Structure 1
Amino acid sequence: MDLSPEQCRAARGLLDWTQERLAARAGVSRSTVRDFECHRHVLHRGTETLLIRTLQEAGVVLLPPGEQGHGVRMR
């Protein structure tokens, strides 16, 4: 599954996490999360996997794109 910047921001919002908290839990830099969410760069596959795994382990379900785009919800 691909993670969109909008999904990442929405997932953090559901968890009430800052960019710093997500970055620390995923083991990446805050600038990586910030730049991804601001569409400054795309993620390497390994980094994307770390972020997805971290969000899912925290209870976020990432929904694939449908008629209205990507989505997120809590498990």
Structure 2
Amino acid sequence: MRKSILKVSIRQIKAARALLNWSQEQLAHAAGISIPTIKRLEAQDGQLGGREETAMRILGSMRAAGIEFIDENGDGLGVRLKKPARK
């Protein structure tokens, strides 16, 4: 059984990519990991698994782009795109 990492689901990752209008290739580039790794992870369902370092790179690149992952709070898991900071 694979350990889940930070309770982020594959569906949240896919939703975050959609909000950013990123392809799997763009996510792989931003996270500094291979395209086959992204494809393999997204072919699953459930919690984001794999190596912790890989998951941290994926989540870090998405957070840096403005994604906020929303925990289960009774209303369900979610994801949102933060408003850009005002200058």
Report if TM-score (shorter chain) is over 0.5: yes
CA distance in 1, matches of 2:7, 2:38: 15
* 1:27 and 2:26 are equivalent in the alignment: no
Aligned-partner SS, 2:62? helix
Structure 2 spans left out of the alignment, 5+ residues: 1-5, 83-87
2:76 to 69, 72, 75: 69
CA distance in 1, matches of 2:74, 2:43: 23
Q: Greater helix share, 1 or 2?
A: 1
Post-superposition offset of 1:33: 1.0
Q: Which runs of 4+ in 1 moved over 4 A?
A: none
The residue that corresponds to 1:52 in the other structure is 59
Q: Greater strand share, 1 or 2?
A: 1
TM-score (norm 1): 0.89
TM-score (norm 2): 0.77
Aligned residues: 75
Contact 1:64/1:71, CA 8 A, preserved across alignment: yes
Q: Percent identity?
A: 32
Q: Which amino acid aligns with 1:18?
A: S
CA distance in 2, matches of 1:44, 1:13: 23
